[in-house]
Amino acid sequence: MAVPLESEVKRRAADTFGRPFDDPAIEGPLKGNHHEAYAVPLPDGGRAKYREPRAGLLWFDRRCFASEEELLQDLRGRVTRVPEVIDRGVLVQRFIEGRTLGAGVLPSKALSPKHRSQLGELFGELTSLGSDDVGARRVCDDVDRPGDGDSHGFLTRLINFTEQRVYREHGVGYHGLLAELGVRDGALDHLKDRAETLTPRPFSLIHGDLHRRNFIVDRKGDLWAIDWELAMIGDPLYDLATHLHLMRYPGKEAERVSGLWRQAVESRRPECIKGWEADLHVLRDYKRVQSVYTDVIRAALALSQRHPEPNLGLLPLIAGRVRQALTAARHPLGLRAVSTFPEVMSAYARWLRTRPGGFDSAAG
């Protein structure tokens, strides 16, 4: 995403570290959907990451902690290889030098034995931090905090967030598009019923977004977990379900990582693995359904926010991704059939044309 030359965020980043605005050592904006971020040199030779949320973004996931940096301060010494927090009048994170886990590899590539072991270590450490062990300020309302161990209540609240905030609030202008793709009002009802079958498990800290771009491999080859903004307290099995959904492992690797999670969690808090094998299917189905709502809306935004008019050349790529999400969620959504590739392309083209003002309005 392009950033104006006179970016106020870059100016604040430079001011925070006593650097001139045009200092070539300030790198950025860094890649990322949710924040405008810059890497700024530190006196000790390292770098810090200064970032601010992008304006006008739709949020598709709940935020439970008031500050990612406050959470990371709380985790220091308790979770291995998380970014250090530096106080410069504002809290900023030390930049982890290295590459993302997904850099230059196939999306479904299996983990190395070393990284698999360090992932297991992370799962175990997170599970060790129960509901009362994290002191960082939380912003979620009491009504969004189920009682410790209420796995049913935890998933139900996530489903309700997707239905109320993503579909009914963010998705008002996309209901017709979703319906044309087979996703209609009440599509989440069956998943709500299945949530009632979940086995109670003690809650723990959850990262909530463990995908390849949120793992950094440092210069020693060690694995660091970054981007903790979706962290929450809840069913520890949700982290495994989210990780498997986002990583797209080949079948054998998914089984291997699932076994790794089980061993890591059982060694720390054995009660947290109760009913895990059956419940993992339910949680993964929620992630598949959630992806349909977010992917359909994000695809529409990507098309309609082009200037001076929508970039219809994106349609084939977008249609392929959306159809993939629909195919994965066919059974939990109860779809009789998945729209074909041409049908998905046509649905988006019609959506763009039938918006008020047509293509001109869609570009605004």
Q: What is the pLDDT of residue 106?
A: 59
**Largest Cα–Cα separation, the chain:** 60
Q: Are 358 and 352 in contact (CB under 8 A)?
A: yes
Q: List per-residue pLDDT tens for the chain, 364 residues long.
A: 444 456 899 999 999 999 999 999 999 999 876 889 999 999 999 999 999 988 767 778 888 999 999 999 999 999 999 999 999 999 999 999 999 997 666 566 789 999 999 999 999 999 999 999 999 999 988 778 899 999 999 999 999 999 999 999 888 899 999 999 999 999 999 999 999 999 999 999 999 999 999 999 999 999 999 999 999 999 999 999 999 999 999 889 999 999 999 999 999 999 999 999 999 999 999 999 999 999 999 999 888 876 567 777 889 999 999 999 999 999 999 999 999 999 999 999 999 888 754 433 332 2
Q: Are 205 and 238 in contact (CB under 8 A)?
A: no
Q: What is the pLDDT of residue 39?
A: 97
Q: What is the pLDDT of residue 247?
A: 94
Q: Are 152 and 293 in contact (CB under 8 A)?
A: no
Q: What is the pLDDT of residue 354?
A: 82
Residue partners of 26: CB distance under 8 A and separation at least 6: 10, 13, 14, 19, 38, 39, 40, 41
Tell me the C-alpha to C-alpha distance, in Å, between residue 96 and each of 31, 39, 223, 243.
14, 10, 10, 21
Q: Are 98 and 217 in contact (CB under 8 A)?
A: yes
Cross-strand partners of 41: 47
Q: What is the pLDDT of residue 357?
A: 44
